[in-house]
Each structure stands twice: as structure tokens, then as C-alpha cells.
A and B are shown apart, each in its own frame.
Chain A
Amino acid sequence: MNFPMSMSDISLWLAVMAIILLITSELISSATEYSRNIVIEKNRLRLVALALGIGFMATVVMRIFQPF
């Protein structure tokens, strides 16, 4: 019973999620006229997107020093 995802799978997943969230947060924070009615914590969304992006970068750095 092992976790079925390898490091490269997690890296890919992180990349896709980070891109989706980064684009969403950028669209929401830049188009103020349309995002006026979206009552969410936009700063937190950006924070999560950046965290996932940094997570992906960390896997890339790991791949450089220790190829998987």
C-alpha cells in the first residue's frame, strides 16, 4: 500500500494547479469592475497560488540535484 504518485507526477500536478490559480488570482485582482461582486479573500487566493508555484519550483530544483 504505497502512495501511487511519483515525484514527477506531483511536480506536474503542482505546475497545473499553480498555473490555474495564478491566472485566476491575476484576473480577479486586475479586472476590478467585474470582480466587485466576488466576495472572497483575494489576497489569500494569491497566497495559495504563489505557494503552489513555489512548491513546483522546489520540485524542479530537486530534479536538478537529484533526478527522479
Chain B
Amino acid sequence: MCPEKKQQAAKEADDKSSELTTTQYLIETIKQLQADNENLKLELKKTKGIPSGKIGIAFIIPGALALIFSILNNSTILSFIGLGLVLWGALFFFIKPVRYVQSSLLDSTAISTYTTIDRIVKDLKFKGKSYYIPPYPKEVYLPEYLKGLKETVVFISADTGGMPSIEELAKSKFLLENPNGICVAPPGLGLLTRFEKEARRDITKLQLDELCESLEPIIVENLQLAKEMEMKVMDKQVYVRIFDSIYKSLYTAEENLKSIHSLGCPLVSAIACTLAKATGKMITIQRDSVSPDGQTIEVWFQFVEG
């Protein structure tokens, strides 16, 4: 190879590496700016927000005074004003939110669970997938020694082959020997209960299409866990796209969580639990992808026969 060509190739490689570095730098800058933006929004909310309790008091006191004066002066107009003010004051007390927390706190509380699972998996040198095992329906009678089958669990296998037997699952054990693996409670188990409450129907009696249709409004509108969501049923697969999930920062956390990709964030995990419970089939997260800005999460669930 002539020296000119060598120089050109070296220059091209340099250009490519500098381009990659610039792209990475830009992505990191965008992420930081987005985080700054969120923090500034929160600060603005804090400074702007007046607690509804104070507004309630500000309405009730003049309302009560107006009512007293209306009785003293026998004035209908004053009593109308007083009643109105008292009602609105009471309403401000009655409809004020019980207690809302910042969504970033949810990530902070969830990180420890994933870190623990990461440590367990790393320590036991497990390389297999995670399988969401459906529970037995509530109305089915099971003897005491099989009660463990009514719990939704995730089986993290040591390698890729084999599923635990019913006897093993019924014992509600953590460490399973045949096949090797561990059984843990899914991170989205609590959310699954909320989904069931919001659906107001037995999800085990729903068809897969109906379930997908009813899950979207529950997640986006009722519980407001994400801004947008799309669910598609394919052959032996379910595709889910979540935009602006409240758990999105778990995927881009500094801790570089590995179990988040096999178990999914609490929202993805809850969807997997719901799918497993509704279909009665085992579910695994085949793959997931996060957009560079961290806003969109795509997950492909796969049904496992066995």
C-alpha cells in the first residue's frame, strides 16, 4: 500500500472517531440539558404553587363572615355570597390532592431492588433469561402445599434451558435446583394489582386484544405512568412502545443496571405480569431498546410454551 493511501485511511479513521466522539458528546449534552430542564420545571412549580389549603381558608373565613352578617342584616345577597364562598372553600379542602410525590423519587426507591438482583445474578453467575410465570386463577381451589402456585413470580434461570416443575414452584422457594435458578417477586407486582383495580374486570377473562386495548388507557390516562403507549399483538409476540415513562431514567441510570433489561422496569414488569396472568402462558422479555434521548422504551415480549 502506498503511503498516500495509508495516510488517507488514517485520516478517514480519525474523522470517523472524531464524529463518534462528537455524537456521543452531543447526546450527553442533550441528556444533561433535559435533566436541567426537568429540575428547573420542578423549581418553578415549587415557587408558583400555592397550597389549596390556604386558598380554602381564604374562601371560608370571608364566607362565614358574610353568612353571619346576612343573618344580622337579614340580607339575601350576603347569604348567597356567604354560601358560595363557604362551598368553594370547603371544596378546595375536599378536592386537594392527598399527597403527591415527585416521579424521580420512584426511580430512587426502585434502584435498590435492581441493584440487589444484579448482585445476586452476578454472584451466582447466572446467564439465562427471566421468565414471568403466570399464577393459578384465584377461584381455583388448591391444597395448602400448592398455595405457592397462586403467586406471580419471575424465574431467572442459570442458563438458557429448562423450566421449573410445578412442585418446585409450589414450595415458594427462592433458590431452585432443578433447573438451576432463582424465583423472585416481579418488580411490577404492585402495579399489576392497581391495573386490576382500575380495569374493574377479571383480566384472566379478557382476550389478548381486549387486554391491550384496556391497558393503554389505564396506564396513560388513569394512572398516568406514561405519556403515550402502543401495544401490538404479533404472532407469539407482543410489542410495546412506551413514551415518557416515569421509570425511564432507570434505563439510563449511572449504575448501569443489567437486570432492568431482563426483568424490565416496574411498568414493563407489570405489563409482563398482566400478559402472563391473562394468557396463562409464560412470558419473557425477548429484547428491549431505549431511544438515544431516553424518552422512548420499546419492548418485545415473547410467549414461551412449556
Contact = CB atoms under 8 A, between A and B. Distances in A.
Nearest to A41: B95
A1 B72 contact: yes
Contacts of A64: none
B256 interface: no
B95 A1 contact: no
Contact of B95 (A4, A36, A48): A48
Contacts of B157: none
A36 to B, nearest CB: 7
Given A1-B71, A2-B74, A9 B224 contact: no
A: contact size bracket = 10 to 19
Given A41-B97, A41-B98, A17 B71 contact: no
Contacts of B76: 4-5, 9
B91 interface: yes
B116 interface: no
Contacts of A32: 220-221
A36 B224 contact: yes
A4 B95 CA distance: 29
Nearest to B97: A39
Given A13-B80, A17-B84, A17-B87, A4 B74 contact: yes
Contacts of B75: 4
